[in-house]
Amino acid sequence: MLHTKKNEQGEDVFIHNPHEPNLDRFLDADAIITVTPGAKLPVDALNGVRFAPWEPPADGKDQLAGQLDIEDEPALTALKPGQKFATGLVIMEPDGRVWVVSPTNGYGGYQNTFPKGRVDHKQPRWYQSNAILEAWEETGLKARIVGFVGDVDRSVTRTRYYLAIRESGTPADMGWESQAVHLVPLSKLRQFLDSKFDHQVVDLVERALAAYGGKLPDPGREGGEDGSGRRRNEPREHQMQEAFIGCLLGGAVGDALGAPVEFLSREQILRQFGPAGITDYAPAYGAAGCITDDTQMTLFTAEGLLRTWVRGRMRGLASYEDVTWYAYQRWLLTQGEGPSVDSQGEHWLIQYPGWLYLQRPLHARRAPGNTCLQALRTRRSPDGKAGNNSKGCGGVMRVAPVGLYCARQPSADASASFELAVKLAALTHGHPTGQLAAGAFALLIFEVVRGATLSDALRSAESELQRHPGHEETLRALQQARRLACQSCDHPQAIAELGSGWVAEEALAIAVYCALVASDFSHGVTLAVNHDGDSDSTGALAGNLLGAMYGAAAIPQRWLAALELRDVIEEVAQDLFQYPDWPLGEYVPTTLRGLHIMAKYPGC
């Protein structure tokens, strides 16, 4: 078998014992993946970073030199007589897998090893650039160094290793020196590597990760961005804030993008908008960029949570279900219907409307779901749960704020976000799947905005689901979404297999699938709305996830500029991020800011 690349002399390179590609489980963080020269990858991106060909600049060593500004890289000690010096990379994905290579025809006696190469320039400023360029030649990947690993003395060389993350490139473009590139979970790395020296590298990597708090470090880079579209030199706190804003704005954008085609089949969408389907706003409800009931109810969910916080701070006792029920009653009023509360409750609704209810554009009826309307029209039962057996997507579509809200509580964990979303979904949806899908979605949002990869967040959600009776439908849907994301390149067919999105587990699965396979925000939400089914809800859910993953900066400005209630949505996101710092409390001195907050979100 001929390699796709020629050697440095321009000669063909013959591979004597070629590898078989193994790409079926590309997105499975527990799987070992094998990529061969020129292979077609089953996904456009992994962990939010696109695969795209990259060529180093002509003056690569100069341009890349001294890239990493760290204090823990020691000076190189004297080499032994005749010993050569090399540098290499341990390129690690956020999902915990590491890129390693199989040298062509077992060159150097290695079957599998880390990318590395000898240093031509002895000045320390070229150590790192040499490692980056050698890694690109052997893996096809453009990497960025984020930390120091250590030095390993081999038989004739000393190799200095750096920890790195992938920024671009594609393993299919590996150079002639490699006949395969592999993606290997860290837990399986020792058994995959055949050299005792590489086992030492694994020990050093584990030690380095422990020193960095168990996660990949993410140092600043002037003017640069990471694969999520977020600035690397921004503090984690600011990245989290951007994720909050991205989550709510992204959901609204997906909602508005799907609104014009909510009741159209995929065939009708393609006939009306062309072979690519709908890729930009189109008129719905009188204008392009209008939101629907999905975003309206999402905002009122956020209001319920924030008013509960205010009530708890000022009175000491508060029920999320009770206060959010009244928030949903205010939404019902915006739809032109009377509330189903007693006279005291109606007094509270009228006397303390709060800021959100006063936003007049929210007083528009945008095809609200019958289940939500009927449940909210009905006087609340003593146990607080809806008296129906519905598992429609109206419960899951509105709970992204739960994940955001819980993410800002130091004492809250993933299970708390799950449980709270289940309780709020139960206000309108009686079927376990309608509630548990909401819990799973809120947990995904919680994990992602706190820095987890979507793959890790899914594992957490699946584990949590199995603790609850009636979880089977939701768990099966999530597992199917993951399986299809690993195997399918035919996105419309995969989405069709997941369903139409009118029920909770299908809407959740479609959103997860689109987020897993998306190369960027636009790609993901566009996939989520061009199908047979509930396009605005699947678009909203996918937009929530993608916005949380990539941050607000990744959302195209043309979509934000035309988005209805953009400023209101962004302000609610800011409030969800900032509420723990509000100057409120029974024994906290009264301030103008505190009075403003209590008027904005009265505790009732």
Count of domains observed in the chain: 2
Domain assignment of residue 13, yes or no: no
DSSP assigned state of 21: P
pLDDT for position 48: 75
pLDDT at 230 over 50: no
Residue 218 banded pLDDT, cuts 50, 70, 90: low
Cα–Cα–Cα angle for 388, 390, 393, rounded to 5 degrees: 140
pLDDT for position 453: 86
Parallel, antiparallel or unpaired: strands 84-92 and 157-169 = parallel
Residue 235 banded pLDDT, cuts 50, 70, 90: very low
Same domain, 135 and 247: no
Report yes or no: 39 and 173 within 8 Å, Cβ to Cβ.
Answer: no
Rg of the Cα trace of the chain?
Answer: 26
Residue keyed to tokens 């400005």: 557
Alpha-helical regions (H) of 195-342: 196-211, 236-258, 266-273, 293-315, 320-334
294 annotated as belonging to a binding site for a ligand = yes
Average pLDDT for residues 450-463, to the nearest whole number? 91
Residue keyed to tokens 């489980």: 25
How many separate helices (H) and strands (E) can be counted in the chain? 23, 11
Report yes or no: 415 and 373 within 8 Å, Cβ to Cβ.
Answer: no
537 annotated as belonging to a binding site for a ligand = yes
293 annotated as belonging to a binding site for a ligand = yes
pLDDT at 350 over 80: no
pLDDT for position 61: 54
Average pLDDT for residues 193-218, to the nearest whole number? 84
Q: Among 159, 109, 165, which Cα is nearest to 139's?
A: 165
Domain assignment of residue 231, yes or no: no
Q: How many CB atoms lie within 10 A of CB 147?
A: 24
Domain assignment of residue 223, yes or no: no
Domain range for 299 is: 236-380+389-600
pLDDT at 232 over 50: no
State the CATH number of the domain containing residue 249: 1.10.4080.10
292 annotated as belonging to a binding site for a ligand = yes
End of a domain among 211, 246, 280? 211
d(CA 242, CA 228): 11
Domain assignment of residue 21, yes or no: no
Residue 532 banded pLDDT, cuts 50, 70, 90: very high
pLDDT for position 129: 85
Q: State the first-to-last Cα distance of the chain, in angstroms, to the nearest integer.
A: 72
pLDDT for position 226: 39
State the CATH number of the domain containing residue 129: 3.90.79.10
More confident residue, 119 or 115: 115
Report yes or no: 133 and 119 within 8 Å, Cβ to Cβ.
Answer: no
Average pLDDT for residues 38-67, to the nearest whole number? 75
pLDDT for position 63: 52
d(CA 151, CA 328): 60
Domain assignment of residue 397, yes or no: yes
DSSP assigned state of 225: B
pLDDT at 227 over 80: no
Same domain, 431 and 286: yes
Average pLDDT for residues 571-599, to the nearest whole number? 93
Query: Could you read off the pLDDT of 293-343 as tens digits, one per residue?
Result: 999 999 999 999 999 999 999 988 889 999 999 999 999 999 998 777 766
Domain assignment of residue 219, yes or no: no
| Backbone torsions φ then ψ of 273, nearest 5 degrees | -110, -5
| Backbone torsions φ then ψ of 342, nearest 5 degrees | -75, 180
Tell me what the pLDDT averaged over the chain comes to: 89
More confident residue, 114 or 604: 114
Same domain, 263 and 402: yes
Residues 6+ apart with CB under 8 A from 604: 307, 311, 323, 326, 348, 352
Domain assignment of residue 1, yes or no: no
d(CA 501, CA 506): 5
Query: Could you read off the pLDDT of 154-200 as tens digits, one per residue?
Result: 878 999 999 999 988 999 999 999 999 999 999 999 999 989 999 99
Domain assignment of residue 9, yes or no: no
| Backbone torsions φ then ψ of 165, nearest 5 degrees | -120, 155
Same domain, 196 and 240: no
Q: Which amino acid is at 74?
A: P
Q: What token pair was written down for 87? A: 């540098």
Residue keyed to tokens 């199989």: 102
Q: Which of 197-206, 218-227, 512-521, 573-582 has the lowest mean pLDDT?
A: 218-227
Same domain, 278 and 171: no
More confident residue, 220 or 319: 319
pLDDT at 569 over 90: yes
Same domain, 330 and 272: yes
Same domain, 255 and 292: yes
Parallel, antiparallel or unpaired: strands 84-92 and 33-35 = unpaired
Q: How far is CA 373 from the centre of its chain?
A: 31
Q: Return the H-helix or E-strand segment holding 88.
A: strand 84-92
pLDDT for position 223: 34
pLDDT for position 431: 97
End of a domain among 211, 246, 275? 211
pLDDT for position 229: 38
DSSP assigned state of 158: E
With a pLDDT cut of 70, the percent of the chain lying above it is 91
Q: Of the segments 248-252, 323-327, 344-348, which one has the largest average pLDDT value?
A: 248-252
Same domain, 485 and 584: yes
Same domain, 190 and 262: no
Calculate helix-pair angle for 472-487, 454-465, nearest 10 degrees.
Answer: 150
The reported pTM is: 0.72
Number of residues that make up the chain? 604
pLDDT for position 209: 85
Q: Of the segments 46-60, 242-256, 367-381, 477-491, which one has the largest average pLDDT value?
A: 242-256
DSSP assigned state of 202: H
Q: Among 530, 558, 528, which Cα is nearest to 544's?
A: 528
pLDDT at 264 over 90: yes
Same domain, 185 and 240: no
Q: Which of 69-78, 141-150, 380-389, 588-597 has the lowest mean pLDDT?
A: 69-78
pLDDT for position 64: 57
Residue 228 banded pLDDT, cuts 50, 70, 90: very low
Query: Could you read off the pLDDT of 82-94 as tens digits, one per residue?
Result: 889 999 999 999 8
pLDDT for position 412: 74
Report yes or no: 427 and 340 within 8 Å, Cβ to Cβ.
Answer: no
**Residues of 475-514 as b/e, b for ≥16 C-beta within 10 angstroms?**
bebbebbbbbbbbbeebeebbeebbbbbbbbbbbbbbbbb
Three-state SS at 392: strand
Q: Among 316, 313, 315, 309, which Cα is nearest to 327's?
A: 309
Q: Which amino acid is at 258?
A: G
Residues 6+ apart with CB under 8 A from 564: 252, 256, 287, 289, 290, 291, 361
pLDDT for position 29: 86
Q: How far is CA 358 from the centre of its chain?
A: 33
Secondary structure of 316-365 as H, E, C letters: CCCCHHHHHHHHHHHHHHHCCCCCCCCHHHHHHHHHCCHHHHCCHHHCCC
Report yes or no: 50 and 227 within 8 Å, Cβ to Cβ.
Answer: yes
Report yes or no: 98 and 136 within 8 Å, Cβ to Cβ.
Answer: no
Same domain, 197 and 241: no
Same domain, 273 and 132: no
With a pLDDT cut of 90, the percent of the chain lying above it is 69
pLDDT at 66 over 80: no
